[in-house]
């Protein structure tokens, strides 16, 4: 069953974040991930619980692949750049 890595981010240092994006993409692909959306326009319809800002959606073949990607030493190193350049909410969602 596929799993989706869902990220909502508010960029605090867009220039630094570009470095994160450049290093994260090959790692996503290494772990079988495919970007489905990456910062496109959001058309908010309801927001009782949450008002997303900049969304990223990545599909992985399985939850295990998504977890391996996120927990990998390689990604944890790159993640430090993101934490310096953005505020984020990140979760993994089981799919179909």
81 is a domain residue: yes
15 is a domain residue: yes
Q: Which domain holds residue 11?
A: 3-41+52-94
Give the global pTM. 0.93
pLDDT for 2-44, tens place per residue? Answer: 999 999 999 999 999 999 999 999 999 999 999 999 999 999 9
DSSP per residue over the chain, as a string?
--EEEEEEEEES-HHHHHHHHHHHHHHHHHTT-EEEEES--------SS----EEEEEEESSHHHHHHHHHSHHHHHHHHHHHHHEEEEEEEEE--
19 is a domain residue: yes
79 is a domain residue: yes
46 is a domain residue: no
**pLDDT > 90? residue 96:** no
Count of domains in the chain? 1
């Amino acid at each position: 069953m596929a799993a989706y890595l869902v990220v909502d981010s508010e960029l605090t240092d867009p220039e630094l974040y570009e470095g994160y994006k450049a290093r994260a993409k090959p790692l996503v692909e290494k772990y079988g991930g495919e970007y489905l959306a990456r910062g496109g326009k959001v058309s908010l319809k309801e927001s009782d619980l949450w008002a997303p800002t900049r969304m990223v959606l990545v599909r992985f073949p399985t939850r295990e692949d998504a977890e391996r990607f996120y927990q990998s030493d390689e990604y944890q190193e790159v993640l430090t750049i993101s934490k310096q350049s953005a505020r984020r909410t990140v979760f993994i969602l089981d799919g179909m």
